[in-house]
């Protein structure tokens, strides 16, 4: 029998230092070996207790979570899961932490509803397990792009040459930023992104992508048109589909039940893209836990579209791409470094732009 995953919980809230162990120790394979109320105590406990995984609050007295994270990543190379406040400031700090090397994040419970707590507990437990597993895999070699605002170039609105649907989860924010930041201002395709992320965080994610990419990036709203050079990010807790319409091809958001345990679900987007755009579509599955998107990728392949999966060595978590590859749905497997060129080439090779009707 394998040893339990050793977890250190760092949070200035006494309630959270009590609640998080209760949530994760329902899994017999996880054991909380200690807690700390700020970054200074956390660094002492890391050296003393030698945890496998750390959960970390960012807003704390004395040494805050960001300063603690910097030292944990540099000195100890331990996977850190951010437990983030459900605020704009909290979301912004979370994306900075991910860029610094945090493994993933969960949103702090915003209310005491048992269903909500159970959902957060399930997410945190799964991410702790994935984080512990990641310690046995080589670290992806790509460099996280520096956050710097890009000067936008105005361009006329036009139909895209191809619709590219991207599905991604753990490790996604940095990886998607890497890909989009390397696509040119005159990119001819339209990109749709489902990133497993809670509501309240996807808007900030889209804004950060927009600031660092030549393309226009925004959080999707129902009725947003699919345009060349535009990327739309599905809002948290919604599903995103596509629809061909007289006024233009557009996205439609819905509140249907979770699929594969997720809302948004990659499979929902991929299935819709396959139905509406067939051979003029592409599916890209990137780093993430689970199997969401695999079957949808199979539908896009069956419809004549192109399918790409991120390679194992460049994934933070090799779950979603592996599921598609093992089922024979990925026509091409690419390391993260070559995905931008692969996507650009796919869209440039589409001979005729899709009709807007």
d(CA 137, CA 4): 18
Which pairing describes strands 239-243 and 250-254: parallel, antiparallel, or unpaired? antiparallel
| H helix count then E strand count, the chain | 11, 14
Active site residue 292: yes
* CA–centroid distance for 304 within its chain: 27
Q: What stretch of H or E contains 284?
A: strand 281-285
* CA–centroid distance for 213 within its chain: 17
- Greatest extent of the chain over all pairs of C-alpha atoms, in Å: 65
The one catalytic residue among 38, 52, 224, 292: 292
DSSP-derived secondary structure letter, 355: P
d(CA 182, CA 160): 18
d(CA 350, CA 279): 10
- Helices 339-349 and 172-181: crossing angle, nearest 10°? 50
The one catalytic residue among 169, 214, 265, 314: 169
Among the listed residues 10, 1, 6, 65, the one whose alpha carbon sits nearest the alpha carbon of residue 31: 6
**Residue 64 CB partners (closer than 8 Å, separation 6+):** 38, 39, 58
Active site residue 169: yes
d(CA 261, CA 292): 9
Q: How many CB atoms lie within 10 A of CB 139?
A: 11
d(CA 69, CA 91): 16
The one catalytic residue among 57, 93, 104, 196: 196
Just list the catalytic residues: 169, 196, 292
């Amino acid at each position: 029998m394998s040893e339990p995953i050793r977890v250190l919980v760092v949070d200035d809230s006494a309630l959270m230092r009590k609640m998080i162990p209760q949530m994760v120790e329902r899994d017999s394979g996880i054991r909380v070996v200690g807690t700390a109320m700020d970054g200074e105590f956390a660094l002492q406990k890391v050296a003393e207790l030698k945890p496998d995984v750390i959960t970390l609050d960012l807003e704390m007295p004395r040494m805050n979570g960001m300063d603690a994270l910097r030292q944990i990543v540099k000195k100890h190379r331990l996977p850190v899961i951010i437990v983030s406040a459900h605020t704009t400031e909290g979301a912004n700090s979370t994306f900075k932490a991910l860029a610094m090397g945090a493994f993933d994040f969960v949103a702090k419970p915003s209310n005491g509803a048992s269903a909500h707590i159970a959902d957060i507990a399930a997410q945190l437990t799964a991410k702790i397990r994935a984080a512990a597993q990641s310690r046995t895999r080589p670290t992806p070699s790509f460099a996280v792009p520096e956050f710097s605002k890009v000067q936008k170039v105005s361009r006329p609105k036009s139909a895209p040459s191809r619709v590219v649907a991207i599905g991604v989860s753990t490790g996604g924010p940095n990886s998607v930023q890497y890909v989009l930041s390397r696509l040119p201002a005159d990119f001819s395709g339209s990109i749709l992104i489902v990133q497993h992320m809670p509501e309240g965080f996807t808007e900030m994610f889209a804004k950060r992508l927009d600031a660092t990419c030549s393309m226009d990036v925004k959080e999707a709203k129902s009725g947003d048109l699919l345009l060349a050079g535009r990327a739309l990010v599905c809002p948290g807790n919604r599903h995103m589909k596509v629809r061909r319409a007289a006024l233009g091809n557009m996205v439609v958001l819905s509140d249907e039940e979770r699929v594969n345990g997720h809302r948004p679900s990659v499979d929902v987007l991929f299935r819709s893209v396959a139905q509406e755009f067939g051979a003029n579509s592409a599916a890209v599955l990137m780093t993430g836990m689970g199997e969401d998107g695999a079957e949808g990728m199979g539908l896009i392949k069956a419809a004549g579209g192109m399918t790409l999966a991120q390679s194992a060595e460049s994934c933070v978590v090799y779950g979603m791409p592996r599921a598609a590859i093992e089922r024979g749905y990925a026509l091409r497997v690419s390391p993260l470094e070559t995905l931008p060129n692969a996507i650009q080439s796919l869209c440039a090779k589409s001979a005729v732009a899709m009709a807007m009707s």
